[in-house]
Structure 1
């Protein structure tokens, strides 16, 4: 999740654990610091853009390492404040604020390596977008009211935590509902993998990506849509390029990190780009990397991947998002006029759309 959400969560958890045992501002300040601590790994340069991506949310987000860190960190803070009588509480508050950070990140689709050093598998439920005001606002309001009105208003902090947790539970239930609809409508397709994740800033409009032997399907479903079949667009994943570059290290790395949700395409300049299909939507993806270039001698592989992500027209995207989330199935997302690969509209049953 974004830094504000993590700071708000850390502060709320710390205030809830410490209660009236210390000044609320001390608990909130320490919780906010611990809540943002794991994300400092973003300051580490691992040598290239792709490595920086896949090694973010790695050791700094591992439950094992954070649990080992909690005791000395919490003890040091208790001694610094002269509150050794509450040492156990400070250690507990530190531990909870540290581990709730990666657990919240796990709810997003990015990929959090919770199980290091025992496993480097990136885990992500994908039921909430990285920024969602409806998750963050209850935490900010609850902790803010408690800090303003003193210890007798701690129930506001608890209420904020309860509402934010309830929202996470709602997002998971909504995701399962949309996943069931997608599986039912794509039953006749040879779907190899299915991804259902919310569109930016909400849990009303959901993006569906289904990998097939021919490529992948992308569709959207709003919880406000009228009953009817889901609509998908069919796209190529660049099978020829994937075959040519299957043993290229950057391609292998991103394919493993994204659980196979990748596509490769060649642009007009002959540059070959790999994109993570999980974050963004056609044709703009947050994480794209140039991994090769076309030469008269054939494909020239790049030793290190070069970042080439794109976000598109934000204003037009937000206008479409609002319209489509409201249930307008005819709303068309903004696309570039020139496309490397043109989509073919398909219905859920796999027949060309009229």
Structure 2
């Protein structure tokens, strides 16, 4: 998730766990601790973009890192506040919980989180939330702001902390329910259209959990479509086929870079040529406004050749590229409109 969400959650947790001993300082400690795993972004200063993709959300997002750093922070905070007589176990629980919550929340996104590193390079990703979702962030942010403004002597402070955490947790459950319902309906749509596939996943589109992006993999390509959580059960989702074009990778300048990208993509990728540029698309991050243009380019596109093409902002450049009021209106139509309107919005540019 984004840094603001982590900071707000950390502040609300800080209020519940440590405010009686530290007052409002607990909010600050919580916000800082909750964001410590993202220190791995510093690695981008010296790593190549492809290497950095595998480092991000790796070791610093592991359980091992969480407990080691929680121990170090406990020693530091214990010395800093030795006059407060705070038990070692209370400090350790505070920091460990903040770090582990960060790690587990990041598994809800599409990126993948290395919870078990360095013992396993498996990445965990449950595709429940987009990396920034206002309806998830709103509650902890309001709770954290109220706690900052409110006097530390107010007896109702704990209620504001819970008001920040509980609705966010319920929204996460709601996202899981939406995903389960949409997955079942999408698989039914694939079956009704006799579209074969070996693997399948769905992930939310930007900033919401109401419109979902689906990828069904076959040996040579992928069926890709979008479906609203409010679509009627019998509504058949349209899919568009994208060939994998794996053979194009033979012309890539760096085969080592190709292997790193294939590992990062977890097998879900296509290769294209944009004029003289060889492009590697990772499908797990969706299409740029794919709900209104089924042929839209993919959000994550990495330039393999010619040499020297800049990939430093590869995770950001396609997320909101080309967005406008019309984009939001089309998204609204696809989510909440009648089935005919959804078909129109999805197919209007065919």
TM-score in same-fold range (> 0.5): yes
Matched, 1:314 2:323: yes
Tell me the alpha carbon deviations over residues 210-257 of structure 1, each in whole angstroms, 9 at most, x when there is no partner. Answer: 112342111111122234111111222224325666x92222222222
Distance 1:59 1:21 in 2: 32
Give the Cα separation in 2 of the matches to 1:244 and 1:184. 39
- SS of equivalent residue, structure 1 residue 182: helix
TM (norm. structure 2) is: 0.85
User: Which residue of 2 is the match for residue 62 of structure 1?
Assistant: 62
Offset of residue 78 of structure 1 = 3.0
After superposition, residues 1-354 of structure 1 pair within 5 angstroms as 1-23=1-23, 25-45=24-44, 46-81=46-81, 82-147=83-148, 148-150=150-152, 151-153=154-156, 154-187=158-191, 188-226=194-232, 227-242=234-249, 248-268=255-275, 270-281=276-287, 282=290, 283-293=296-306, 306=311, 309-311=317-319, 312-315=321-324, 316-327=326-337, 328-332=341-345
* SS, match of residue 278 in structure 1: strand
> Aligned equivalents of 1:319 and 1:26: distance in 2?
43
TM-score (norm 1): 0.84
Unpaired runs of 5+ residues, structure 2, are: 291-295
Q: Bigger shift: 68-77 or 111-120?
A: 68-77
Question: How many angstroms does 1:19 deviate by?
Answer: 4.3
Deviations 1:267-308 (A, max 9, x none): 11x221101111130533343212235xxxxxxxx5998456
Counterpart position of 2:293: none
CA distance in 2, matches of 1:303, 1:121: 31
How far residue 184 of structure 1 moved from its aligned partner, in angstroms, is 2.3
Contact 1:191 1:211 in 2 (8 A): yes
> Relative to structure 1, is the Cα distance of residues 261 and 139 closer, same or farther in structure 2, using a 3 angstrom cutoff?
same
| Inter-partner Cα distance in structure 2 for 1:199 and 1:256 | 23
Q: How many residues align?
A: 327
- Conserved 8 A contact 2:186-2:227: no
- The answer (yes or no) to whether the contact 1:237–1:262 under 8 Å persists in 2 is yes
Q: Unpaired segments of 5 or more residues in structure 1? A: 294-301, 338-344, 346-354
